[in-house]
């Protein structure tokens, strides 16, 4: 091959490279997008779960909102006090710490305790099941157990146990996604230190509740009498007033409806964590491949 051809080719390619390189270098200099380093720093601080619990479209969006629009800094529920402190430090403002809230499903009528009135053989979704003859549970307020809440939970903190949803408080990141997913409005956000709940949402009168569930509130008012302001009546349904702790824990035993229940970490152990977390699966899979 002629040496000139090689030289011309090398020269031409080198020349094109030089022109392009210069253009890129100039573009990088003059068209640079100035990123606020504080936003980047803030993204680092936020947990990166992108749960949307703060009301913004993910952690990056929330970081931008804090820096640019002065959004409230205490909106990141999964981050908890640690992240709040870090944000406060970065922004140089005082942090007001609020107790972490966790979701609680206000129904304990599982398949042993609350009968079903018909066989539902359709889409496995609570909203769909509730639209067919008013839901397949005799109780028209109770958890249907088709897992609409579990499906929206970003961290898998909700388990369907014997036809009733149970939130594992130690996994819950307080994003509140499940609250709006429940067609029967059974899920409430509750301070994590409060472990005694009225796990019933039936507003029906006592005799109706008795027929529908073994652990339903019959509206006897005993909790209000024995434990004072920690409980309040809403028609025929007792509700827990979470601002006030329950001092007389004996009420759990005494409740005639058996619907006042103490929930602790020990009582409902979290499901065994999957051996590989989702983000690890890919890496591990490729590793195996390489080994193979």
Partner 1 sequence: MKAIPAKFKVNGGIHPAYHKELARDKAIENMPIPALLSVSMSQHLGAPANPIVKKGDSVLRGQLIGETAGFISAAVHAPSSGTVKAVSEAPTAMGTTAAIVVIEPDGEDTWIEGLEGIADWQSTAPKTLVEKIAAAGIAGMGGAGFPTHVKLSPPPDKPIDTLILNGAECEPYLTADHRLMIERADTIWVGCQIIRKILGATTVRIAIEDNKPEAIAAMEQAMANAEGDVGITVLKTEYPQGAEKQQIFATTGREVPSGKLPMDVGCVVENVGTTLAVWDAIVNGKPLTERVTTVTGHPVAEPRNVLNRIGTPYSDLLAFCGGLKGDVAKIISGGPMMGLAQPGLDATTTKTTSGLLFLAPQETQTFNSMPCIACGRCIEACPMYLVPAELSQMLEAEDYEAAEELNVLDCIECGCCAFACPAHRPLVQHMKQGKSKVMLKRRQAQKK
Q: What phi, psi does 259 have (nearest 5°)? A: -105, -5
Pick the closer one to partner 1 by CB: 181 or 260. Answer: 181
Q: Considering the complex, what minimum distance in angstroms separates the CB of residue 138 from partner 1? A: 9
Q: Taking CA 277 as the corner, what is the angle to CA 274 and CA 281, rounded to the nearest 5 degrees? A: 110
| 216 in Cβ contact with 109 (< 8 Å) | yes
Binding mask 138-167 for partner 1 (x = CB under 8 A): --x---------------------------
Q: Closest distance between partner 1 and the C-beta of residue 202, in Å? A: 13
Under DSSP, is residue 98 helix (H, G, I), strand (E, B) or coil? Answer: coil
Helix and strand tally (H, E) in the chain? 11, 8
Strands 260-262 and 237-240: unpaired
Give the number of other Cβ atoms within 10 Å of residue 113's Cβ.
19
The footprint of partner 1 on residues 112-141 (CB under 8 A) is 117-119, 121-123, 125, 127-128, 130-136, 140
Task: Find the shortest distance in angstroms from Cβ 200 to partner 1.
Answer: 18
CB of 117 to partner 1, least distance (A): 5
User: Quick one: which H or E segment has residue 261?
Assistant: strand 260-262
Place of tokens 């210069």: 22
- What is the closest distance, in whole angstroms, from the C-beta atom of residue 180 to partner 1 in the complex? 12
Taking residues 200 to 239 in sequence order and writing x for each that binds partner 1 by CB under 8 A, - otherwise, the string is ----------------------------------------
Q: Is 57 in the site for partner 1 (CB under 8 A)?
A: no
Binding site for partner 1 (CB under 8 A): 117-119, 121-123, 125, 127-128, 130-136, 140
């Amino acid at each position: 091959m002629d040496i000139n051809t090689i030289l011309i080719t090398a020269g031409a390619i080198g020349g094109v490279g030089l022109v392009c390189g210069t253009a890129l270098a100039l573009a990088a200099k003059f068209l640079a997008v100035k990123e606020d380093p504080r936003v980047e720093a803030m993204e680092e601080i936020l947990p990166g779960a992108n749960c949307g619990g703060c009301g913004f479209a993910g952690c990056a969006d929330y970081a931008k909102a804090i820096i640019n629009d002065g959004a409230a800094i205490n909106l990141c529920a999964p981050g908890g006090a640690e992240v709040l402190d870090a944000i406060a430090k970065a922004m140089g403002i005082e942090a007001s710490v609020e107790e972490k809230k966790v979701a609680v499903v206000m129904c304990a009528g599982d398949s042993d305790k609350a009968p079903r009135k018909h066989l539902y053989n359709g889409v496995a979704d609570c909203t769909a099941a509730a639209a067919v003859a008013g839901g397949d549970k005799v109780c028209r307020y109770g958890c249907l157990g088709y897992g609409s809440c579990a499906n929206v939970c970003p961290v898998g903190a909700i388990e369907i146990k014997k036809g009733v949803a149970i939130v594992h408080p130690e996994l819950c990141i307080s994003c509140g996604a499940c609250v709006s997913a429940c067609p029967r409005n059974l899920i409430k956000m509750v301070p994590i230190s409060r472990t005694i709940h009225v796990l019933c949402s039936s507003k029906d009168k006592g005799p109706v509740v008795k027929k529908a569930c073994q652990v339903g509130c019959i509206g006897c008012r005993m909790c209000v009498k024995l434990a004072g302001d920690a409980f309040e009546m809403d028609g025929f349904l007792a509700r827990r007033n979470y601002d006030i702790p329950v001092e007389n824990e004996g009420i759990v035993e005494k409740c005639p409806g058996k619907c006042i229940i103490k929930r602790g970490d020990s009582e409902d152990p979290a499901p065994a964590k999957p051996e590989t977390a989702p983000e690890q699966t890919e890496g591990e899979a490729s590793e195996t491949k390489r080994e193979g």
